[in-house]
Amino acid sequence: MKRLCAAALAVPLALAATPVLAQETAVPAPPVAAPVAATAAPAPAAAEAPPPPAVTGTMAMPVYELPDPATLKRPTLEFKPTPEIEADYDKYFYFHREATSFPEAFDDVRECDALASGANIYMGADSAAVSAAMAQYGVLAGGVGGAIGGAIADAIFGSAARRQQRRTNLRNCMGFKGYQRFGLSGDLWKEFNFEEGHGRKKEGERNEALELQALVASGAKPATKELGL
């Protein structure tokens, strides 16, 4: 009887202990991972802006079609010198270089005219272009520098100083290129030359005058005395 009671009591105790043991030995389930949000696609890279164009100092002359020199009337250069005329040779003169063609002379006269008139104003050149011109014509540093300050000279001294400055620059430039200078009377000089003060000659009149100056510069050598720079 005691044995049956002991056995009967053992069974409930064993059953009662089973849930506790299961709780103690159960392996916890792994946590459920949260859903991963989809990674946003990278934004397309912005297109790089093209580099700015390189700045260069140039003095490109506009294309100009020269006439046949045979169609041009050579200016009159013969005159009788007087002390009064000779006193104005610093104003009235022309240039000549031996063994020079008409196109070569025109290019030289035209370039020196541009520099003498103020390359940075009238030729549309930038500061780099003017610096390049100064580097090329080293002995003209003062003359070309004066061309840069032409507008200032106009404002301070007026057109007379501008005209004198232009003559000096022109003489420097043409002398550097190997041209000789010869004196001329004022009335003959005005037939194929021009002066500029506050304004600029119209291009048509300017080119016609430059053509005649080039015709003289490339023509027969003058018989009169060279004046030097």
| Residue 94 confidence class, pLDDT cut points 50, 70, 90 | very high
pLDDT at residue number 51: 62
- Which of 86-95, 173-182, 196-205 shows the lowest per-residue confidence on average (mean pLDDT)? 196-205
| Residue 29 confidence class, pLDDT cut points 50, 70, 90 | low
22-32 average pLDDT score: 50
The answer to whether 119 touches 144, Cβ cutoff 8 Å, is yes
pTM as predicted: 0.60
Q: Considering only residues 121 and 169, tell me which one the structure prediction assigns the higher pLDDT.
A: 169
Q: Is a pLDDT exceeding 50 seen at residue 60?
A: yes
Render the burial of 150-187: b for 16+ CB within 10 Å, e for the rest: beebbeeeeeeebebbbbbbbbbbbbbbebbbbbbbee
Q: Amino acid identity of 116? A: A
pLDDT at residue number 144: 46
Share of the chain above pLDDT 90, in %: 44
Q: Considering only residues 14 and 32, tell me which one the structure prediction assigns the higher pLDDT.
A: 32
Q: Is a pLDDT exceeding 50 seen at residue 58?
A: no
The answer to whether 219 touches 182, Cβ cutoff 8 Å, is no
User: Which helix (H) or strand (E) covers residue 181, if one does?
Assistant: strand 180-183
Q: Amino acid identity of 88? A: D
Nearest to 206 by CA among 219, 192, 217: 192
Nearest to 190 by CA among 91, 112, 96: 91
* Neighbouring C-beta atoms of residue 122, cutoff 10 Å: 17
Cα angle value 16/18/23 (rounded, 5°): 115
The answer to whether 210 touches 109, Cβ cutoff 8 Å, is yes
Interval 103-149: pLDDT, tens: 999 999 999 999 988 754 444 445 555 566 556 555 444 444 444 55
Torsion of CA 168, 173, 175, 177, to 10 degrees: -170
Range picked from 24-33, 132-141, 158-167 for highest mean pLDDT: 158-167
pLDDT at residue number 45: 57
